[in-house]
Chain A
Amino acid sequence: MFSDFSAAELSAIFAMQGFAGLILFAVFVLMALGLAIIFGQMGVINMAHGEFMILGAYVTYMTSNLFASHFPQLFGSYFLFAIVFAFFAAALLGALVEWSMIRFLYHRPLDTLLATWGLSLIMQQTYRSIFGAREVGVVIPDWLMGSYQLTDMIEVPINGLFVMVLAVLATLFVAALMYRSRWGKQVRAVVQNRPMAGAVGINTARVDRLTFALGCGIAGVAGSAFTMIGSTGPSSGQLYIVDTFLVVVFGGAGSLLGTVASAFSISQSQSILEFFMGGSMAKVLTLLVVVIILMFRPQGLFSLKVRR
């Protein structure tokens, strides 16, 4: 396989392959971060996570249209606004869903699974009615497409770099919020012991709503970023949901570090195996390894206490 290539070519390709793995890692982190908060901290199995991501994608699509028609001179930077809009749109909808549905279903994880699955169908059909059944083409500003020439032979996709930067920022933001802010302390308190948290004056209902909204908002950001690398259609969210749960469950529910570690190991093994043996086999082997590890460590790589 490698005999026809010079050492320089090979090292260039391996370097690019390394970047490919890191980009996939960033994609997984962005996908899983929102769910890790919702599933990990609140114990809610949110099957509509993918649809919240696609909400972010559609917001990006609308923002791009808005800028193209009203502020064409700013079109190059619309993406930054779109990410902010996507966050707030998804977070608002998340808060609404929590208020109208999820809060009645705490302590009933299987019911949240069914209810949010129903919600995901409703959201898909809503997108289909509003935006049409076809996928929409989100026009990405030129500076985000194309590749960055690192050396003569090494080219790195710019959209991949952008996703990586975004993933790092989002992770730092969530980590700071969870472990450095007063609000994060409240969230963790509610997770550990709800009655006691309530007794010391924490408004647990409000904490729940904000936590759920934050998770959904981050899903929206992820969806916004994924318009650069994937499709935007009513059911595109389904493409991400399995991998997202895989990362969160494998990482251990409730652990931010676990999510990052799990995203890293799954993305690296998948991307390396894909390079050597092609897509379908890579997926099979990755899943096999995950299943075996989960047999011996059902709680995931890292585990913290989850609210009972």
Chain B
Amino acid sequence: MDHSNDSKPFKQTRRKFLSTTVTAITAAVMMASMPMTIQAAAPATAEVNTTGLAVTDNTVKVGILHSITGTMAISEEGSVQAEILAIEQINAMGGVLGRKIEYIQEDGASDWPTFADRSNKLLRQDKVAAVFGCWTSASRKAVLPIFERYNGMLYYPTFYEGLEQSPNVIYTGQEATQQVLAGLDWVAEEKDAKTFYLIGSDYIWPRTSNKIARTHIEQHLGGQVVGEDYFPLGHTSFNSVINRIRLRKPDVIFASVVGGSNVAFYRQLKAAGLDMTKEDFTLLTISVTEDEVLGIGGENIAGAYASMKYFQSLPNENNEAFVKAFKERWGADAVIGDVTQAAYLGPWLWKAAVEAAGSFDVDKVRAASPDIELTTAPEGYVRIHENHHLWSKGRIGHAQRDGQFKVVHETEELMEPDPFPAGYQ
């Protein structure tokens, strides 16, 4: 330790005190001298930003934090595209509180400490008003302490296991109960399913989802779980478990296999002669979106059912406009999965909350967030719950050979998000 540093804290505080005072005075003078006409068009910066965020009279900075290199780039690419599209559309409509959104994109590089480091930079150096980002739960957990410490706002797009509720995060994807219960209720009702085989990759999301699934099957549906298997991430040989499944003859295979394993699982299932297009059994997955089908191949997964809140083929006006805009911006080959749509909601929900709060201040945005609703969402209508998750409908899609899903069912009511489901833990 160098002793010359000892006097530094005092100096720093004094300097900080001075500079805040100066800023405050300048701001007061500016406000006083501001002509009324401009104030009506766009509220004064000092008014909408009292905490030193990167907001000017014409612009506001936000962050986009996803992996564009490394293993997760495959999944996060779509989210980045959706967030950029939403920001561009908001800017074309005049921005937020009269200010154009400028985004700073950082690369989490599929590495959780890097996510933490980059979020630190976005919040402390760039002073962004909000961050749209993260994909895996591990990356979210890595940045969470930083967002809570420096009071940032994160819009997190992925469907995930729940068991979390941070004042600094808005969760725009489904938490586990929304996805699992909608899927199981449908398959029990529609396919008269009694026996279930749960299979997943071995980490927290599949394990939590299957725990919820097992409880629901055994206690509410009167069914039976005849097998539950987990495979290490990246596992590529599923022939043994396929034989196990043959042996147990379940009505439903409930799959939450992720990543590269997905491709192996469905290709080997097909090659083993378990035909999903026939009625022998139903495969219900909570981990395959249109993005994953690209790698699996539509012909290998045709006939499976997925429980999600969004499918690209969803027939409504909002979605048709969204799909068209997305393809115009990112190419006609682009596909849009559940998470991509959830990522697209982020900037729009933030805009609505900022406008309701009349301020970019994170505390005010947070206070205004509950009950913020979006009628223009591609998935239809969503509303922010007090627990920072979204009310949304559950939907079942039937996989087609062309890589798209046909929506065969949607819940009548919005499903309440319940990140800490009582009786399921």
Contacts and interface: CB of A to CB of B under 8 A. Distances in A.
B244 A147 contact: no
A125 B69 contact: yes
Contacts of B235: 239, 279, 283
A123 B105 CA distance: 24
Interface in A212-241: 226, 228-236, 238-240
Contacts of A158: 271
B231 A280 contact: yes
A17 B243 contact: yes
Given A230-B263, A238-B234, A134 B239 contact: no
A61 B259 CA distance: 19
Contacts of B246: 13, 16
Nearest to B249: A4
B237 A155 contact: no
Contacts of A228: 267, 271
B263 A231 contact: yes
Interface residues of B, number: 47
A128 B64 CA distance: 20
Report, as a range, how many residues of chain A touch the other chain. Answer: 35 or more
A188 B240 CA distance: 39
Contacts of A159: 267, 271
Given A13-B247, A128-B69, A279 B273 contact: no
Contact of B295 (A136, A146, A147, A157): A136
B42 interface: no
Contacts of B234: 238-239
B240 A17 contact: yes
A65 to B, nearest CB: 13
A16 B73 contact: no
B272 interface: yes
A184 to B, nearest CB: 31
Contact of B264 (A19, A157, A229, A274): A229
A278 B224 CA distance: 18
A293 interface: no
Contacts of B232: 279-280, 283
Interface of A: 1-2, 5, 13, 16-17, 19-21, 23-24, 27, 125, 128, 132-140, 145-147, 149, 155, 157-160, 226, 228-236, 238-240, 271-272, 274-275, 278-280, 282-283
Interface of B: 68-71, 73-74, 76-77, 202, 228-232, 234-237, 239-244, 246-247, 259-264, 267-268, 270-273, 291, 293-300
